A and B are shown apart, each in its own frame.
Chain A
Amino acid sequence: MKLKRGKLLVDPPACASSDIAFTLIIFFLVCAAVQPETGMSQALPKTEEKSEERDQSKNLEVSITPSGIVLNGSPLQLPEFTRRIAAELKTKTREQDRIVVVKSAPDTDYPAWIGVSRAIDSAGGILTLELESERTIEVK
């Protein structure tokens, strides 16, 4: 007589599935947390309201528009601006002379602004923003 061997069914224990899910979540959380942020640090002088008494002739002035950059009245594109600002700041030794006043057109986009800001930082300039303040004047 031939005896049939009984088939053994091996089921993984169902109570372990939550432990597996728990371990997987920990793994993905750790993976997500280790991606570092990248960027560019920028030193800005503390903001203060100033009247128009600033001696404008001493500081370099940069205007940014969506179409280009203007350095002390000359319209330039970014590569030329990078060279010119480096040359201008090379001769300035005092910290107060290295201040670069940046005025942007309201519709200037962020990548263009960052490009100019990077060029000023690399040349050793101290970027200062000139913001237009809004005033409401009632006309009677």
Chain B
Amino acid sequence: MKLQRRKITASVPSFAMGDIAFLLLIFFVILARAQDDSHIKWQPARLDKVDVAPAARASVVIDTGSKTYLDGKEISPEELATKLSAVLGDTPAGNRHVFLKVDRDAQAKVFEPVIAAISEAGGDLIHILEPEKQPARK
């Protein structure tokens, strides 16, 4: 007598899909945070009139410790112009926006060479500032 082997069907439990999606999302969020500059500590300076800034191709930050970062990675001001030129590539003028986020306590000896480097790379400089707070009306 010949016995037939039972067929076992293996299926992925569908209720695990939510967990998989959740873990994937966490992974991509961490990956994205490593590339941006939200982990850098800096306090924006205030100005009475500020405009909404257009999207930028690159972001340069000078933090509270006077260190310079290009797109979240620490960089020396001397090599900033070269690296920024590579980031901006052949982007036409007018679209070469570069955000400059300078800590309000930074001094000219730190931020002026950075501004000069952005200018040398042909970037359209946008100082990121905070609007001045209006005094509360009584």
- Listed in ascending order, the chain A residues whose CB lies under 8 Å from chain B are 15-16, 18-19, 21-22, 25-26, 29, 36-47, 64, 104-111, 113-115, 118, 129, 131
Contacts and interface: CB of A to CB of B under 8 A. Distances in A.
B126 interface: yes
B125 A41 contact: yes
Contacts of A45: 119
B21 A22 contact: yes
B53 A36 contact: yes
Given A40-B127, A47-B120, A111 B46 contact: yes
User: Which secondary structure characterizes the binding site on chain B?
Assistant: mixed
A34 to B, nearest CB: 12
Contacts, number: 116
Contact of B112 (A15, A18, A131): A131
Contacts of A44: 115, 118-119, 125
B53 A41 contact: yes
B29 A29 contact: yes
B108 A22 contact: no
B43 to A, nearest CB: 10
B119 A47 contact: yes
B52 A38 contact: yes
A74 to B, nearest CB: 21
Contacts of B131: 38
B113 interface: yes
B105 interface: yes
A41 B107 contact: no
A105 B109 CA distance: 8
A101 B18 CA distance: 60
B130 A38 contact: yes
Given A38-B53, A41-B125, A47-B120, A107 B107 contact: yes
Interface in B87-125: 97, 99, 102-109, 111-113, 115-120, 122, 124-125
Given A38-B53, A39-B53, A47-B119, A106 B107 contact: yes
Interface string B12-26: 000100110110010
7 contacts: A15-B15, A38-B53, A42-B125, A46-B122, A64-B108, A110-B45, A131-B116
Contact of B19 (A18, A29, A110): A18
B129 interface: yes
Given A129-B112, A131-B116, 11 more contacts: A36-B52, A37-B52, A38-B51, A38-B53, A40-B51, A41-B126, A42-B126, A47-B117, A64-B108, A108-B107, A129-B115
